[in-house]
């Protein structure tokens, strides 16, 4: 299967600071990428997606950056809040009807 | 809209027992999926369906079966439960395929096989 990895398994940030969560993907043919947030006891929740013809996309307090040259994806969360504490997954779609998920990064926001 | 609803939330099975995990969605999505999530691992696709009457295997289909008789429902059947099937199971749906639209997940079924 595909390998979608994360540089850091855990990340702690102060409330109000910006958070950056990184993700490396392995398949240069992947053309669609998604970030999910998963809170304890719940299913993954869609945050933002990006296609390979873009290198940046912004949502509400979140920005996803895609660097196809080094096969790297990042999620930036502005003014991190306690409610942002969760596990964040990136996923890539290299074609066909399957997404490959990373193992996740646990974000902890310190009040 | 309730979104994707899974039942039960928790279940304990003995080895060799069988059960059906229920999943229903009210978003009129054609595409539905079953994933399992093991501790410290990413989600793995078990089965998926692109519409009523059509199902296909994902990455880890062994030991499971599915059916899709309606757009709304996509049950997952475990026959002869084994300890390796201890996991959290997530059902998801999407408007179009995984390469073009995000998945909407249910809150999961935590299954323990002892």
- Model confidence over B5-63: pLDDT tens digits? 999 999 999 999 999 999 999 999 999 999 999 977 789 999 999 999 999 999 999 99
Cβ distance B98 to A41 less than 8 Å, yes or no, reads no
Q: Which domains does chain B have, with CATH numbers?
A: 4-96 (2.60.40.10)
* A6 — pLDDT class (breaks 50, 70, 90): very low
As a whole number, mean pLDDT of residues A88-109 equals 87
- Decide if A82 is inside a domain: yes
**B75 and B59 in contact (C-beta within 8 Å)?**
no
Q: Does A43 touch chain B if contact means CB atoms closer than 8 Å?
A: yes
Nearest-Cα distance to chain A for B83, in Å, is 21
Residue of B nearest to A31 (CA): B99
- Domain of A16 in residue numbering reads as 4-95
Find the CB nearest A43 among B58, B100, B108.
B108
Kindly report the backbone phi and psi dihedral angles of residue A71, in degrees, each rounded to the nearest multiple of 5, phi listed first. 50, 60
Judged against a pLDDT cut of 50, whether residue A3 lies above it is answered with no
- A90 versus A5: which is more confidently predicted? A90
Q: How many domains does chain A have?
A: 1
Q: What is the structure's pLDDT at A7?
A: 44
- Decide if A101 is inside a domain: no
Centroid of chain to Cα B70? 15
- B16 versus B100: which is more confidently predicted? B16
Both tokens of B30, joined, read 């054609």
Nearest-Cα distance to chain A for B92, in Å, is 9
Question: How many CB atoms are located within 10 Å of the residue A49 CB?
Answer: 19
Q: Give the length of chain B.
A: 114
Strands in A19-25's sheet, in edge-to-edge order, are A4-5, A19-25, A72-77, A62-67, A56-58
Burial class (CB in 10 A: 0-12, 13-18, 19+), B83: exposed
Judged against a pLDDT cut of 90, whether residue A1 lies above it is answered with no
- A99 versus B107: which is more confidently predicted? B107
Q: Does A96 touch chain B if contact means CB atoms closer than 8 Å?
A: yes
Chain B residues lying within 8 Å of A91, measured CB to CB: 42-43
Cβ distance B42 to A4 less than 8 Å, yes or no, reads yes
What percent of chain A has a predicted confidence (pLDDT) above 90? Answer: 73
Find the CB nearest B102 among A34, A41, A89.
A34
As a whole number, mean pLDDT of residues B73-79 equals 97
- Decide if A110 is inside a domain: no
- Decide if A100 is inside a domain: no
Cβ distance A42 to B99 less than 8 Å, yes or no, reads no
Nearest-Cα distance to chain B for A95, in Å, is 6
pLDDT digit string, tens, across residues A47-98: 999 999 999 999 999 999 999 999 999 999 999 999 999 999 999 988 766 7
Judged against a pLDDT cut of 80, whether residue B99 lies above it is answered with no
Judged against a pLDDT cut of 50, whether residue A2 lies above it is answered with no
* B66 — pLDDT class (breaks 50, 70, 90): very high
Tell me how far apart the alpha carbons of residues A55 and B87 are, in angstroms, rounded to a whole number: 35
Cβ distance A103 to B97 less than 8 Å, yes or no, reads no
């Amino acid at each position: 299967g595909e390998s979608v990895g994360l540089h850091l398994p855990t990340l702690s940030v102060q409330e109000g600071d910006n958070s950056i969560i990184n993700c490396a993907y392995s398949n240069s043919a992947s053309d669609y990428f998604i970030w999910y947030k998963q809170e304890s006891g719940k299913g993954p929740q869609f945050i933002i997606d990006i296609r390979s013809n873009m290198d940046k996309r912004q949502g509400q307090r979140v920005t996803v950056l895609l660097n196809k040259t080094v096969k790297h994806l990042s999620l930036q969360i502005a003014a991190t809040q306690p409610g942002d504490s969760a596990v964040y997954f990136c996923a890539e779609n290299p074609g066909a009807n399957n997404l490959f998920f990373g193992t996740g990064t646990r974000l902890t926001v310190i009040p | 809209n309730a979104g994707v609803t899974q039942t039960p939330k928790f279940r304990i099975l003995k080895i060799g027992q069988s059960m059906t995990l229920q999943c229903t969605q009210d978003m009129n999505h054609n595409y539905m999926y079953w994933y399992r999530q093991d501790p410290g691992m990413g989600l793995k696709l078990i089965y998926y369906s692109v519409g009523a009457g059509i199902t296909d295997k994902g990455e880890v289909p062994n030991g499971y079966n599915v059916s899709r008789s309606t757009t709304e429902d996509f049950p997952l059947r475990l026959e002869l439960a084994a300890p390796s099937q201890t996991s959290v199971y997530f059902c998801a749906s999407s408007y179009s395929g995984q390469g073009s639209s995000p998945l909407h997940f249910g809150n999961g079924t935590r299954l323990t096989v002892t």
